[in-house]
Amino acid sequence: MVGNVYEGAVQDLIDELGRLPGIGPKSAQRIAFHILEADPEDMLRLADAIRTVKDKVKLCTICFNVSEQETCSICRDERRDPSQVCVVEESKDVMAIERTRTFRGRYHVLGGAINPIAGIGPDQLHIRELLTRLQDAAIEEVILATDPNLEGEATATYLSRMLGATGLKVTRLASGLPVGGDLEYADEVTLGRAFEGRRSVTG
Amino acid sequence: MAGRGGGYAANSYRTDALVLRTYKLGEADRIIVLLTPGHGQVRAVAKGVRRTTSKFGATLEPFMLSRLQLVHGRNLDIITQAQSVTPYGTAIAADYDAYAAASAMVETAERLTVTEVGEHGGGVEAPSQYRLLHGALAALARRAHAPRLLLDSYLLRALATAGWAPSFTACARCGAPGPHRSVNVTLGGSVCDDCRPPGSSTPAPQSVALLAALLSGDWTTADAAPEASRREAAGIVAGYLQFHLERHLKSLAVMGQDADRHP
């Protein structure tokens, strides 16, 4: 256990670093001493980057992805297909899907998944904004791309119930066997999903 | 650690467990909070479980019943093997009302069960709480009854198992046989006219009958209860739970959000 053994600024830095996700007291102390010993210019550049990101970056007013302007680059891009909206939990998921280069529609970032034990319900997510957005006549399909875990599935279940009345096509990303794995190591639920979602290969 | 052994290496043990909840840890790990029949509440690390290629797959998702091999760690145990026994979570997540009810159940179970300390922990009521939660999740997964009824029945019985058994027939103070008109949460349920303290509520007789049915497991009566009685009974159960746990359940507040939208 690392107590308050340092004075003033050093202890403040350790405390602040220790509040970051995945950083324990020991790691916080190690990073703090690295910052102390490192080149001042490098560390001031890091401080500037943190300040800039907090000053400039905000959420896109349409899709709630991170953006430096009122609307993000994807919402501003007129070459994107306006008929498809892919609903994801976090901005990180937008980047993951963009890396595939297979989806050319637009996104809607919920800001998390429904997790009642953590106090996160529909009102804490950008679901109301999604429903408002779907009144746009150009949208024809909503793709539910929440995480394939229990919270993500429950969120997709909730959204499909809410979107049922809109008359839009609502789809869910397929789930099943990961590429590069062995069948024998797949758990029953994953393998079951793979069977449910099997597709014809004979055309 | 001998108390936990089971024919395996001295530092490891094997147990069935219900997954109560999970917390993200580091890059790809999770802390899994488990309720076991023999070791009470256990907190363990599942390494790499958030990777899509993880061997654990869905076995360590909330509400799953799994058979686990664990190794004692300094602060948290480490899950080395997991095998799915019954994937209740899959069926529960497919119905939002069941998911919300199951979340409130596991949140209650987490509060009511003691985190294991050394080899003497676990609490004497842990096996009963485990069996109760197992039965409730199984009933939710097979859609045996309305999720809210199952939740309220579970909450009353879990509190009874923890030593806070309410009474909705005899007077909770003097034991006079009922049914009685008034309910007082702080006294433990129904109270007769002589014992009725100021501030007691007077719910509809059908609501009191429903509460008694939920506590005793009389599902014929419970399933036949009208919606107004179900709502009133749910409010009394929530009040009783909050009185004994001394805090709100986050899950019940989230259920309220959805009830506002789908009354």
* Pairs of CB atoms within 8 A across A/B: 83
Nearest CA in chain B to A27: B26
The pLDDT tens digits for A151-192 are: 999 999 999 999 988 889 999 998 888 777 788 888 888 888
Q: Which helix (H) or strand (E) holds B174?
A: none
| H or E stretch at B101 | helix B96-112
Residue B171 φ/ψ region, left for φ over 0, alpha for ψ in the -120 to 50 degree band, beta for the rest: beta
A85: β partners: A106, A142
Q: Look at residues B159, B59, B67, B62 and name the one whose alpha carbon lies nearest to residue B113.
A: B159
Nearest C-alpha of chain A: how many angstroms from B241?
16
A10-43 burial, b if ≥16 CB within 10 A, otherwise e? Answer: ebebbeebbeeeebeeeebbebbeebeeeeeeee
Contacts of A42 by beta carbon, 8 Å cutoff, 6+ apart: none
What mean pLDDT is predicted for residues B180-193? 88
In the 8-state DSSP scheme, what is residue B43? Answer: E
Burial B100-121 (b: 16+ CB within 10 A, else e): bbbbbbbbbbebbbeebeeeee
Q: What is the pLDDT of residues A35-84, one digit of tens each?
A: 999 999 999 999 999 999 999 999 999 999 999 999 999 999 999 999 99
Closest chain A residue to B30 measured between Cα atoms?
A22
Condensed to tens digits (0 to 9), the pLDDT of residues B213-259 reads 999 999 999 999 999 999 999 999 999 999 998 888 899 988 877 65
Contacts of B92 in chain A (CB under 8 A): 150
Interface test with B, best of A150, A190, A196 (most B CBs within 10 A): A150
Asked if residues B151 and B101 have their Cβ atoms less than 8 Å apart, the reply is yes
Best of A151, A163, A187 to mutate (most B CBs within 10 Å, chain B):
A187
Output b/e per residue, B192-212; b: 16+ Cβ within 10 A. Answer: beebbeeebeebeebbbbbbb
What is the reported pLDDT for B152?
A: 95
B10 contacts chain A (CB < 8 A): no
Cβ–Cβ under 8 Å, residues B109 and B129: yes
- Cβ neighbours for B40, distance < 8 A, ≥ 6 positions apart: B113, B114, B115, B116, B121, B122, B123, B126
Of B27, B84, B250, the CB nearest to A187: B84
**Cis bond before residue B179 (omega within 30° of 0):** yes
The pLDDT, as a whole number, for residue B117 is: 46
Q: Are strands B182-184 and A84-88 parallel, antiparallel or unpaired?
A: unpaired
* B253 → closest Cβ in A119, A154, A178: A119
Chain B residue numbers with beta carbons less than 8 Å from the beta carbon of A180 are: 53
Closest among B120, B109, B111 to B38, alpha carbons compared: B120
Mean pLDDT of the residues in chain A: 90
CB-CB contact of B61 with B51 (8 Å): no
Tokens of A2: 């690392």
Q: Do A153 and B25 touch (CB under 8 A)?
A: no
pLDDT at residue B123 greater than cutoff 70 = no
Query: Are the CB atoms for A87 and A125 separated by under 8 Å?
Result: no
Distance from CA of B171 to the nearest CA of A (A): 34
Per-residue pLDDT, B85: 93
The structure's pTM equals 0.85
The SS3 call for residue A181 is: coil
* Average of per-residue pLDDT across A86-107: 95
Q: Which of B30, B75, B258, B262 to mutate to test the interface with A (most CBs of A within 10 A)?
A: B258
Q: What are phi and psi of A107, to 5 degrees?
A: -120, 165
pLDDT in tens, A122-160: 999 999 999 999 988 789 999 999 998 899 999 999 999
Who contacts A75 (Cβ-Cβ below 8 Å, separation ≥6)? A60, A62, A63, A65, A106
The ipTM of this complex is 0.83
Alpha-carbon span A175 to B227, nearest angstrom? 38
* Any B CB within 8 A of A150 CB: yes
Is A70:A59 a contact under the CB 8 Å cutoff? no
Q: Do A157 and B94 touch (CB under 8 A)?
A: yes
Q: How far apart, in whole angstroms, are the C-alpha atoms of residue B29 and residue B51? A: 8
Q: Look at B254 and A161 and tell me if their CB atoms are within 8 Å.
A: no
Task: Tell me whether residues A150 and B89 touch, CB distance under 8 A.
Answer: yes
Per residue, what are the HEC states of A84-125? Answer: EEEEECCHHHHHHHHHHCCCCCEEEECCCCCEHHHCECHHHC
Q: Which residues of chain B from 52 to 91 reach within 8 Å of chain A, CB to CB? A: 52-53, 55-59, 61-63, 84, 87, 89-90
